[in-house]
Amino acid sequence: MKIKSYLLIILIVISAVGLSVCSYIYTPAKYQEYSVGVDKEPVMAPMLKGASAGVFPWSPVEKQEDPQSLAKKDKVAETKPEAKIEVVEPKSFTKVDDSYFDDAVFIGDSRMVGLSQYCPEIDSRATFFAKKSLTIYNLQKDAWIDVENGPKETIFDALSKISFSKVYIMVGINEIGRGTNEGYRDAYADVIKRILEIQPDALIFINSTMHVTKEKSDGDELYNNGNINVRNAALFDLIDNQHIFYLNVNDMLDDGEGNLDESLSGDGVHLKGSCYEPWHQYLLFNGVVD
Amino acid sequence: MTFSDLNFIFRAMPLFLIIYYVFSAKLRPWLLVVASLAFYVVNDWKFVAILVGATIVNFGFAKLVSKKKKVALAGIVIFNAGLLSFFKVAGRLKLGIAFPLGLSFYIFKMISYQVDLYREQIKTVSFRDMSAYFIMFPQILSGPISRYSYIEDNSAWVVAPKEERPSKGQRLQTVLASVEDGLKYFVIGLFMKVMIADHLAVLWSDIKTIGYESISTPLAWLGAYAYSMNLYFDFWGYSLMAAGIGVMLGFPFIENFIQPYAANSVSDFYRRWHATLGSWFRDYIYIPLGGSKKGTGRTIFNLLVVWLITGLWHGMTLNFILWAMVILVIILVEKFILSKWDKAFKIIGHINVWVLIPCTWVIFAIHSVRKLGTYGLRLFPVINNGIAVNQNDILYLLPSYWPYLLMGIILVIPFVQTLYRKHKENILVTLVLFVMFWISIISLANSAGNPFMYLRF
């Protein structure tokens, strides 16, 4: 019997068994979050998913912060504002023109990519750091910004190299189904805090995560407007109307029933190339001037 | 559960192969019938009764048809065609009746079976073999539409006389050789589907996201070619997986795509594209109508009937009729005008395949005639209908998709297939297939079999 004649079967069987054993051993410690259960997928699947996300059997386990110490931290954070006695008048929104975006930075996922590609009025003036599939967690931790002739850098490294006084952020759709609302809010708070450390006088505009159309929302267990609204609401307590503002872009883009207007979207999730003007106009009507 | 489902690849298929080969050759057809019914139930249990019912009715008629009863043949053909038409029309009229899984494919096989029986190309009526032919899971979802001889040629079902029976070792070698051979086809098909077709489907989806009125003309053309490749590798990949499973079970290899983009005309293209469907239309509609032997007018009429049915079979919307009629016109022009200039036809025929065919796929892809008009004007901007067009849009998309486009272009070249066939026993080729297998599996594990899971926002 020539092994060469059955080499592919042998290789596939051996590798599949090997990967299944490894996955079985390491899933409890490393791949639990990638597992949907052996009744739904082969044993090796969690490890394959984990490995694609950069988690290998030999990768160090990220230390989870002790829930008690987290609770303590929250308590400290909660008590801090009570110490403040100063009452500050909230800044209000006002109409601005396109020159307002000259010193603005736009950060976000594919929806923000769309704004950069189909709103030349803003794109020609502002700086965009936007990428398809970006999440608040990538923003917080990853080096994802391409640098010519060099390794990728974090958003904070990129921001420290430029001057800016306004930051517009829109993420949130890719995070749905991932992590908790509190985790999402905390990651957002951390990103804002670190941006303000770079530029303390910057105005941060949190753009609400844009809704999806009714058809998409009704037919999708994950990416629906109920889940989007919960995530948007989780950010409300970050707003101070001094440095951090909330722009509910859905006010301008919804159909009146809380869904993205069908006529504005080709896929139910993104604005069509010809439909970025309402968002642009909304931003023009919601500037903040000292 | 489809062929590109991890549970199928790592659980159902290996388990079935072991059971299938543990049992004797005599029992294997029954095992295939039982497994195919289970496969159908898992995918679409609501309509299994239609499949079983149609199989029993066809068996009843087959007894009469085998006795050359023309009325019985007419009756069963009307029954089969009526069943297919009912579900097609019900879907179009939005009566809330879903379309049974694989109906188009098993009905075509049923018609083929009855006609071949009447023509005495099938000698005996066997319920076991007939039901295995109709129901077999490798072909139930989307073909290929094999003929009954496919069943008769299964080497694993041959019961050899006792004295001629090979030893256990020899039998094991034969089985492993079949599985290895089929597995290779399966891996290539899986890679085509998962790594090329599914990724290019996302590029096409990106174009829809932008909106046809806002795409530049270069992007419109890129879209037409990307969709053409998506369709080709999706269906060719699926067909190779189906054929590969068949080979693993002892059936001969069935070729459904015979290098269509190497065709020298659109007529030739459709002899090579989904070849089992094309030959079905030729043998059971075109030739019975008289083919091209009854004068020019009749030939045109026969082609019109064939292409009208082809269009309606693909979908009951206007764009499919339009798609079929455009192809018909091109074929008629090739057949009656261009063929008179031999040298020019050689060049124009290839241009038709490489330029007109991708344009016809756009008609196939876009169901709304209004949107089709918009896309058409982006392809051929005789009137500027663009709104907020970003002229650099192609540059934004190409960096993400060029590897899949390049792989597609390479695999379209006929030389690559010839090279594979020549060296498929080479260890290096086997190792490449092994790598292709795991790349596809990793991609599948991350997308859970849904190509649009790549579509992060």
Q: Does a structural domain hold residue B1?
A: no
Active site residue B274: no
Nearest CA in chain B to A130: B457
Residue B173 lies in a domain: no
Question: Tokens at residue A189, please?
Answer: 């708070």
Number of domains in chain A: 1
Over residues B258-298, the pLDDT tens digits come to 999 999 999 999 999 999 999 999 999 999 999 988 899 99
Range of the domain at B215: 178-453
Q: Is residue B108 part of a domain?
A: yes
Interface of A with B in 182-211 (CB under 8 A): none
Do residues B151 and B41 share a domain?
A: yes
Are B122 and B203 in a shared domain? Answer: no
B269 inside domain: yes
In a shared domain, residues B96 and B185? no
Of residues B387, B396, B446, nearest to A274 (C-beta): B387
pTM value?
0.88
- Indicate if B307 and B405 belong to the same structural domain: yes
Dump pLDDT digits (tens) for A203-262: 999 999 999 999 999 999 889 999 999 999 999 999 999 999 999 999 999 999 999 999
User: Is B322 a domain residue?
Assistant: yes
Residues 161-180 of chain B whose Cβ lies under 8 A from any Cβ of chain A = 169, 173, 176-177, 179-180
Q: Among A12, A136, A171, A264, which would you mutate to test the B interface (most chain B Cβ atoms within 10 Å of its Cβ)?
A: A12
Chain B contact present for A266, CB below 8 A: yes
Confidence of residue A61 (pLDDT cuts 50, 70, 90): low
Chain A interface includes B430 (CB < 8 A): yes
Establish if A33 belongs to a structural domain: no
Structural domain count, chain B: 2
- Pick the residue from chain A with its C-alpha nearest to B215: A273
B202 reaches A (C-beta below 8 A)? no
* Secondary structure (H, E, C), chain A: CCHHHHHHHHHHHHHHHHHHHHHHHHHHHHHHHHCCCCCCCCCCHHHHHHHHCCCCCCCCCCCCCCHHHHHHHHHHHHHHHHHCCCCCCCCCEECCCHHHHHHEEEEECHHHHHHHHHCHHHHCCCEEEECCCCCHHHHHHCCCEEECCEEEECHHHHHCCCCCCEEEEECCCCCCCCCCHHHHHHHHHHHHHHHHHHCCCCEEEEECCCCCEHHHHHHCCCCCHHHHHHHHHCCHHHCCCCCEEEECCHHHHECCCCCECHHHCCCCCCCCHHHCHHHHHHHHHCEECC
Same domain? B23 vs B147: yes
Q: Are residues B241 and B342 in the same domain?
A: yes
- Has residue B255 been placed in a domain? yes
In a domain, B85, yes or no: yes
Identify which of B169, B390, B456 has the shortest CB distance to residue A273. B390
Total beta-carbon pairs less than 8 A apart between chain A and chain B: 116
Which residue segment(s) compose the domain that A283 sits in?
A: 91-288
CB-nearest partner of B183 from A9, A16, A173: A9
B53 and B112 inside one domain: yes
What tens-digit pLDDT sequence spans chain B (457 residues)? 889 999 999 999 999 999 999 999 999 999 999 999 999 999 989 999 999 999 999 999 999 999 999 999 999 999 999 999 999 999 888 888 889 999 999 999 999 999 999 999 999 999 999 999 999 999 999 989 999 999 999 999 998 888 888 888 889 999 999 999 999 999 999 999 999 999 999 999 999 999 999 999 999 999 999 999 999 999 999 999 999 999 999 999 999 999 999 999 999 999 999 999 999 999 999 999 999 888 999 999 999 999 999 999 999 899 999 999 999 999 999 999 998 988 889 999 999 999 999 999 999 999 999 999 999 999 999 998 889 999 999 999 999 999 999 999 999 988 888 899 899 889 999 999 999 999 999 999 988 544 444 445 6
Enter the ipTM: 0.89
Contact B211 A274 (CB under 8 A): yes
Residue A86, domain member (yes or no)? no
Mean pLDDT of all residues in chain B? Answer: 93
Q: Of B314, B350, B367, B423, which residue is the catalytic one?
A: B314
CATH of the domain at A192: 3.40.50.1110
| Residue A6 C-alpha, separation from nearest chain B C-alpha, in angstroms | 6
Provide the pLDDT for residue B300: 96
Using a CB–CB cutoff of 8 Å, tell me whether A8 touches chain B: yes
Tell me, yes or no, whether A103 lies in a domain.
Answer: yes
A63 belongs to a structural domain: no
Residue A36: closest C-alpha in chain B = B448
Query: Considering the domain boundaries, does residue B170 fall inside one?
Result: no
Return the pLDDT at B160: 83
Confirm whether A55 is domain-assigned: no
